[in-house]
Amino acid sequence: MNSRPGVIDDLAAEQDQLESVLARLTPADWLSPSAAAGWTVADVVLHLAQTEEAVPVALSGAPDAIGWRDLGDNVDDAMNALVRAEPAAPAEVFARWRAARRASVAALRTADPKQPVQWVASSLKPPTLATTRLAEHWAHALDITGPLGIGYPDSMRLRHIAWLGFHTLPYAYRLAGQPAPDLFCELTAPDGATWRFGDPVAESAITGPAGAFCRVGALRLAPADSGLTTRGPHAEAALHALRNYAAT
């Protein structure tokens, strides 16, 4: 599975936007609760730093760059254990993430885009890995900015995240032991353009704002509250299955 052109540039731009937010936070902001359950803002950024540090390792050919299987029974538990294992002051966390995200982008730029690498439980080509990193930074930026009342407007970079959500629906269905249905998505981009995924003649379709589609896939918005419209026998179930997975 390959991603849209420019994804690495857009990953860097997403990280730039987040860095501009983090640079303005007060010490109290860093220690305040985020929207990620049980994590402070500093914990969220530490998680991003830890996972960005794993990107160059994965691109070097390591079979398990994060070593999550040694940390928990599932990926979420493992990521939480990793955060708990490395507490640090906010300034140290910020510096660690800044260094890690630059090293990650540099490694992605020099990687063979056609050579799959192991990432968590999946094998991904570097452009798709970059897409998952963009999706994670965007979702965690919402976790940080939402509780603090800081604006974080949607950008055209969401096209990569919408692409990821749509193209990993078969994986979501496979996890559930079900066949993936034919589906068409017609999403309205932040600038008013239309993004289309799938076959327009599919009997099931999801339409509406791309930002809502991406938030549902990131588990930051319930389908019932998304304003997305479903049509056909399988669209509602597909919307509930939607995840921005790091998987092919």
pLDDT digits (tens, 9 = 90+) for 141-152: 999 999 999 999
Distance (Å, whole) CA 127 – CA 113: 6
| CA 63 remoteness from chain centre | 21
Q: Are residues 25 and 62 in the same domain?
A: yes
3-class SS of residue 122: strand
Question: Which of 62-66, 190-194, 201-205 has the weakest average pLDDT?
Answer: 62-66
Average pLDDT on 50-77 reads 81
**Phi-psi sector, 64: left (phi>0), alpha (psi -120 to 50), beta:** beta
Asked whether residue 195 carries a pLDDT value surpassing 90, the answer given is yes
The DSSP-derived string for 143-174 is HHHHHHT------TTHHHHHHHHHHTHHHHHH
For residue 229, give the CATH number of its domain: 3.30.1050
User: Is residue 118 domain-shared with residue 165, that is, in the same domain?
Assistant: no
Residue 247 located in a structural domain? no
DSSP state of 246: S
Please check whether residue 246 lies inside any domain of the structure.
Answer: no
The pTM (predicted TM-score) of the whole model is 0.94
Looking at 148, 174, 205, the residue that finishes a domain is 148
Q: How confident is the model at residue 2 (pLDDT cuts 50, 70, 90)?
A: very low
CA distance 145 to 29: 10
Domain count, the chain: 2
Q: Rounded to whole angstroms, how far apart are CA atoms 6 and 222?
A: 30
Residue bearing the bigger pLDDT, 172 or 107: 107
Distance CA(167)–CA(145), nearest Å, equals: 28
Domain presence at residue 2: no
**Among candidates 133, 61, 62, 138, which has minimal Cα distance to 104?**
133
What 3-state DSSP class applies to 75? helix
Q: The domain containing residue 132 runs over which residues?
A: 7-148
Mean pLDDT of 17-45: 98
Instruction: Say yes or no: 163 and 101 in one domain.
Output: no
- Residue 161 pLDDT more than 80? yes
Q: What is the CATH number of the domain that holds 139?
A: 1.20.120.450
The first and second tokens of residue 197, run together, are 């995924």
